[in-house]
Amino acid sequence: MSLVIIGTGLAGYNLAREWRKLNPDAPLVILTRDDGRNYSKPMLSTGYTKGKTADQLAMQTAAQMAEQLKADIRTQVSVTAIDPVAKTVTVDGETVAYDKLVLAQGADPFQPPMGGDGLDRVLTVNDLEDYARFQAAATGKKHVIVIGGGLIGSEYANDLSNGGYAVQLVEPVGRVLPALLPPVASEAVGAALAGLGVTFHFGVSVQAVHQDGEGVRATLSDGREIQGDLVLSAIGLRPRVALAKDAGLAVNRGIVVNRELQTSHPDIYALGDCAEVEGLVLPYVLPLMAGARALAKTLSGQPTAVVYPAMPVQVKTPVCPVVVSPVAPGVAGAWTVDAQDGPNVRASFRNGDGQLLGFALTGSFAGDAALKAQLAKEVPAMLA
Ligand SMILES: Cc1cc2nc3c(=O)[nH]c(=O)nc-3n(C[C@H](O)[C@H](O)[C@H](O)COP(=O)(O)OP(=O)(O)OC[C@H]3O[C@@H](n4cnc5c(N)ncnc54)[C@H](O)[C@@H]3O)c2cc1C
């Protein structure tokens, strides 16, 4: 059985590792449009705090990974089409055949609709190459405008502040981490970031970015203008579904897969940020690792449903650490604050029967491993 994987992110490489353990000699081809270096994407938002360049974050080259995985890894190539009937993919005009195909294509940063002539100074950081580009653009600069106060925007605000940058953060909702935390916990994180020097512009969006000498001028939706040297946009990700959609596979928010991570075509699977597993798009490391373990078995002849226990997410804002077991939008219930002492907040989300469905811990509570483990055990599994 020959396996072809598209993508060398954490999803592609974790699957390759798990599958290789069960298939020591079978042919494995991995195709990627980046340079195939193995790195841990969560480290991208702690790079300034830890003083790391992109090269220092890369753990292995594509050649080292090819040797370790006994794989044919083709880098800087783009897969442009899938033919599910012929069981081939088109790679820069060439055809590569597969028995089983796994899409581990990740997600694209969402680009906010903005006008202005300074959009080339609006950067996103979603892979190692973006990170190198951002570091180069930010070298010698001082003022960064961050668009978005979600997980990635808040992490970058903390990291850039640690790196000596003056950060202005624009977030349409009136607080940081609005989709993850109850207001009291958001306020704790916001106050801690403000203490580092972050300036917030809440309740507004960026309408336009104009060049302003060497820097930028951003027009906010309330008409105000703010200045900076460059802009980092972090307003969310969209699963890469175009290739799957063009091949006739079912797509929704992500590439639609069942519990065995199988798409609407039996020989094609999807994993990681691009996949929607039984309606869940979970762009985090733990779900893709659980998926990689299950999928390796399925692809080795032991059909295995993925299991998602409660998987608390750590937000890397060291000035006020956060651990959150998020609640899906629309779930009935309410947050209560169980304890609060300055930046230290412990909150729980319960339904009408008192069942714990999610929790949020900030400050010292986030560092209490026993508390986190106990709460995580109480929260029902996402996919049992
Ligand atoms: C700054 C940041 C911090 C994060 N922090 C955390 C954290 O603390 N904890 C956590 O759990 N999660 C975190 N995440 C999320 C986590 O890193 C991602 O969920 C995970 O890395 C996604 O891996 P992936 O392999 O699915 O996608 P990616 O890493 O995006 O990989 C996609 C791959 O597909 C390839 N590809 C795509 N299309 C094609 C094509 N047509 N042809 C060829 N190749 C193609 C790309 O080249 C790439 O190799 C963070 C994310 C970011 C951006």
Instruction: Ligand 1, residue 275: give the atom nearest the CA.
Output: 26
Beta bridge partners of 145: 168, 231
Per-residue pLDDT tens for 88-134?
999 998 999 999 999 999 999 998 889 999 999 999 999 999 999 99
Per-residue pLDDT tens for 366-380?
999 999 999 999 999
What are the phi and psi torsion angles at 288 (to 5°)? Answer: -75, -30
Q: Which residue puts its alpha carbon closest to atom 44 of ligand 1?
A: 32
Is the model more confident about 245 or about 1? 245
Instruction: Ligand 1, residue 314: give the atom nearest the CA.
Output: 8
Per-residue pLDDT tens for 29-78?
999 999 999 999 999 999 999 999 999 999 999 999 999 999 999 999 99
Cβ atoms of 249 and 259 within 8 Å: the answer is no
362 φψ region: left (φ > 0), alpha (ψ -120 to 50), beta (else): beta
Count helices and strands in the chain by DSSP H and E runs: 10, 25
The pLDDT value given to residue 112: 83
Same structural domain for residues 153 and 262?
no
The pLDDT value given to residue 111: 84
Task: Give the Å distance between the CA of 240 and the centre of ligand 1.
Answer: 11
Whether pLDDT at 1 is above 90: no
What are the distances in angstroms from CA 346 to CA 22, 205, 234, 359, 375?
43, 30, 27, 8, 11
Tokens 């609640």 locate to 327
The pLDDT value given to residue 126: 96
Domain hosting 271: range is 3-108+237-298
- Is any ligand 1 atom within 6 A of the Cβ of residue 272? yes
Furthest-apart CA pair in the chain: how many Å?
62
Task: Give the Å distance between the CA of 9 and the centre of ligand 1.
Answer: 5
Structure tokens at 52: 């790391």
Question: Do strands 313-315 and 322-325 pair parallel, antiparallel, or not at all (unpaired)?
Answer: antiparallel
Same structural domain for residues 120 and 99?
no
What are the phi and psi torsion angles at 363 (to 5°)? Answer: 60, -135
- Is any ligand 1 atom within 6 A of the Cβ of residue 124? no
Task: Give the Å distance between the CA of 236 and the centre of ligand 1.
Answer: 12
Same structural domain for residues 279 and 356?
no
Per-residue pLDDT tens for 274-328?
999 999 999 999 999 999 999 999 999 999 999 999 999 999 999 999 999 999 8
The pLDDT value given to residue 328: 82
Question: Once rounded to an integer, what is the mean pLDDT over residues 244-273?
Answer: 98
Share of the chain above pLDDT 70, in %: 100
Whole-angstrom distance, CA of residue 253 vs CA of residue 244: 12
- Is any ligand 1 atom within 6 A of the Cβ of residue 45? yes
Instruction: Ligand 1, residue 32: give the atom nearest the CA.
Output: 44
| Residue 345, C-beta contacts closer than 8 angstroms, at least 6 positions apart | 184, 185, 188, 337, 339, 360, 361, 362, 363, 365
Same structural domain for residues 198 and 242?
no
Same structural domain for residues 258 and 365?
no
Structure tokens at 103: 């899409």
Domain end, chosen from 233, 258, 287, is at 233
Cβ atoms of 282 and 275 within 8 Å: the answer is no
Share of the chain above pLDDT 90, in %: 97
- Is any ligand 1 atom within 6 A of the Cβ of residue 285? yes
Structure tokens at 236: 């969310």
- Is any ligand 1 atom within 6 A of the Cβ of residue 312? no
Same structural domain for residues 135 and 169?
yes
Instruction: Ligand 1, residue 283: give the atom nearest the CA.
Output: 19
Residue 224 maps to a domain: yes
The pLDDT value given to residue 329: 81
- Is any ligand 1 atom within 6 A of the Cβ of residue 32? yes
Residue 119 maps to a domain: yes
Which run of H or E residues covers position 366?
A: none
Total count of domains within the chain: 3
Same structural domain for residues 220 and 188?
yes
Structure tokens at 301: 């002849």
Please tell me whether residue 353 adopts helix, strand or coil conformation: coil
Instruction: Ligand 1, residue 311: give the atom nearest the CA.
Output: 11
Residue 314 maps to a domain: no
Determine what percent of the chain falls in helix, strand and coil, rounding each to the nearest 5: 30, 30, 40
Tokens 């999803």 locate to 11
Residue 267 maps to a domain: yes
Domain end, chosen from 233, 259, 277, is at 233
Top mutation candidate among 285, 311, 315, 322 for ligand 1, by most atoms within 8 Å of CB: 285
Whole-angstrom distance, CA of residue 298 vs CA of residue 305: 8
Per-residue pLDDT tens for 155-211?
999 999 999 999 999 999 999 999 999 999 999 999 999 999 999 999 999 999 999
